[in-house]
Amino acid sequence: MLAYILRRLLYAIPILIGVNLFTFGLFFVVNTPDDMARMQLGVKRVTPEAIQKWKAERGYDKPLVWNAAAAGSGALTDTIFFSKSVRMFVGDFGRADDGRDIAREIGDRMGPSLAIALPTFVLGLFVAISFALLLVFFRATTLDFAGVVLCVAMMSISGLFYIIGGQWLVSKVWHLVPISGYSGGLDAAKFLILPVIIGVIGGIGSSARWYRTIFLEEITRDYVRTARAKGLPERVVLFRHVLRNALIPILTGVVVVIPTLFMGSLLTESFFGVPGLGSYTIDAINAQDFAVVRSMVFIGSVLYIFGLLLTDVSYTLADPRVRLQ
């Protein structure tokens, strides 16, 4: 097990290097730092001095990959590639355009992101699986059909509609919770409850339908017939046998997103004014803060790769037959 995990971590290294090279290519080779400076300072009437100043402030005034002027190892290290891309591996993301340290900002904003994403994820999983089991319990009846129709209709509604509609109904018409905002401590609950509920409702359509398909696939198996022949009530068959065996395909899709919960949700956070990583990313995109977007791309990939590893490990917990080697 440990050896397996170690080997998987080794496999992750070339992929992370690939992601790193890709972002470097995207941000510095497709567009030169001069282009970015001209874009941010306004295309017209920009002086070469202003561009030089912009580049110097951000440390973009070095050669891309090979600094011929520097001596010794400085030829490699005193470059944009080394200072901006390679340094990301040790958690050094540099500074944002407003001068703050990106790594520190990310640390501060993880909490609020997680405070929304984690309850949404757990509650959403619980509700969707319960709903899917209910539909499977009443399979091939009108109730099942109506449930599937509801799922398809719900997944055809834009996520923006759930957020805008929920804010309007709950906060504006009923005045139950504040429209947006955030505060630390227990006070946060009143800000969190609406985004969490909206997140759960918005995700229920597609996931419940997917789980239903998985359950229906399991329910035709022989072991289910055996369990019924033993005289087990349908409730027990569903919960103890079907649910347990359907876990593997469910885990495949679910566990991988757990680490990325840290990243938060772009939409929810920006609509509800939560100071998390999602709204950080959106602000950076709107302000065209390339350094922040680059860092988020890298962190997102690290978390995703970690999620893949977690998925494999979770298989052994869910199914004793799976051996990792």
| CA–CA separation, 195 and 119 (whole Å) | 10
Number of residues interacting with other proteins: please give it, by CB under 8 A.
49
State which residue, 77 or 213, has the beta carbon closest to other proteins.
213
Using rule CB under 8 A, residue 145 touches other proteins: no
Strand partners, 95: 101
Using rule CB under 8 A, residue 239 touches other proteins: no
**Strand ranges (DSSP E) for the chain?**
none
| Smallest distance from other proteins to CB 125, Å | 20
Cβ neighbours of residue 117 closer than 8 Å, sequence gap 6 or more: 261, 262, 263, 264, 265
Query: Degrees (nearest 5) of the Cα angle 252, 255, 256?
Result: 85
Using rule CB under 8 A, residue 178 touches other proteins: no
State which residue, 67 or 259, has the beta carbon closest to other proteins.
259
C-alpha neighbours within 13 Å on the C-beta side of residue 169: 10
3-state secondary structure 67-114: CCCCCCCHHHHCCHHHHHHHHHHHCCCCECCCCCEHHHHHHHHHHHHH
Using rule CB under 8 A, residue 282 touches other proteins: yes
Using rule CB under 8 A, residue 47 touches other proteins: no
CB of 318 closer than 8 Å to CB of 251: yes
The one segment of 73-81, 139-147, 232-240, 286-294 that binds other proteins by CB under 8 A: 286-294
Record the tokens describing residue 23, joined without a space: 């972002």
Using rule CB under 8 A, residue 167 touches other proteins: yes
| CA–CA separation, 17 and 65 (whole Å) | 15
For the CA atoms of the chain, what is the radius of gyration?
Answer: 25
State which residue, 56 or 160, has the beta carbon closest to other proteins.
160
State which residue, 247 or 305, has the beta carbon closest to other proteins.
305
Work out the burial of residue 6: count CB atoms within 10 Å of its CB; fewer than 13 is exposed, 13-18 middle, 19 or more buried: exposed
Write the interaction track for other proteins spanning residues 251-280; mark x where CB under 8 A is met and - where it is not.
Answer: ---------x--x--xx--x----------
State which residue, 124 or 278, has the beta carbon closest to other proteins.
278
| CA–CA separation, 208 and 230 (whole Å) | 29
Using rule CB under 8 A, residue 140 touches other proteins: no
In the range 204-223, which residues lie near other proteins by CB under 8 A? 220
Using rule CB under 8 A, residue 169 touches other proteins: no
The one segment of 109-117, 131-139, 299-307, 310-318 that binds other proteins by CB under 8 A: 299-307
Write the interaction track for other proteins spanning residues 179-208; mark x where CB under 8 A is met and - where it is not.
Answer: ------------------------------
Torsion, CA 141, CA 146, CA 151, CA 156, rounded to 10: 140
Alpha-helical (H) ranges within 220-289 are: 222-229, 234-236, 243-254, 266-272, 277-286
Using rule CB under 8 A, residue 129 touches other proteins: no
State which residue, 159 or 178, has the beta carbon closest to other proteins.
159
Using rule CB under 8 A, residue 304 touches other proteins: yes
| CA–CA separation, 209 and 213 (whole Å) | 6
State which residue, 46 or 70, has the beta carbon closest to other proteins.
46
3, 30, 68, 71: which one binds other proteins (CB under 8 A):
30
Q: Tell me which residues touch other proteins (CB under 8 A).
A: 14-15, 18-19, 22-23, 26-27, 30-31, 35-36, 38-39, 43, 152-153, 155-161, 164, 167-168, 172, 220, 260, 263, 266-267, 270, 281-282, 285-286, 288, 290, 293-294, 296-297, 300-301, 304-305, 308
